[in-house]
Amino acid sequence: MIGDSIENAAPLKLSLSVEVKAWRTLICRHMNIRYKAVLSEIDAFMEAMLAQLARPIKDLEDVRLAMVALESVRYRQLDIDSTLGPIEARRWHC
């Protein structure tokens, strides 16, 4: 009697595992889209700061602009670290 219920559970297990895989794929797809946008925004910010810092320093105004860029990077550092940390820590098997 118990063996019959175990044999009848095989189709249920199969359909549940297929459903779980479909949900996991959907969640991973949405996470990839979200984090791609987040990483693109961080990349754009860093590119802008690198361009600002790459300018040659000729006078005090250039020094001021470089200091503003460094201050912006320092201000956003915690935000960037807290965003990248969970992405790096997780190993999503999608």
Over residues 34-54, the pLDDT tens digits come to: 889 999 999 999 999 999 999
Question: What's the total number of domains in the chain?
Answer: 1
> Quick check: is 15 in a domain?
yes
> Quick check: is 94 in a domain?
no
Query: Looking at per-residue confidence, does 64 or 32 come out higher?
Result: 64
Q: Report the C-alpha gap between 81 and 21 in whole angstroms.
A: 31
DSSP conformational letter for 89: H
Query: Looking at per-residue confidence, does 28 or 19 come out higher?
Result: 19
How high is the pLDDT of residue 93? Answer: 62
DSSP conformational letter for 57: P
For residue 84, the enclosing domain spans: 2-89
Q: What backbone phi and psi angles, to 5 degrees, belong to 31?
A: -65, -40
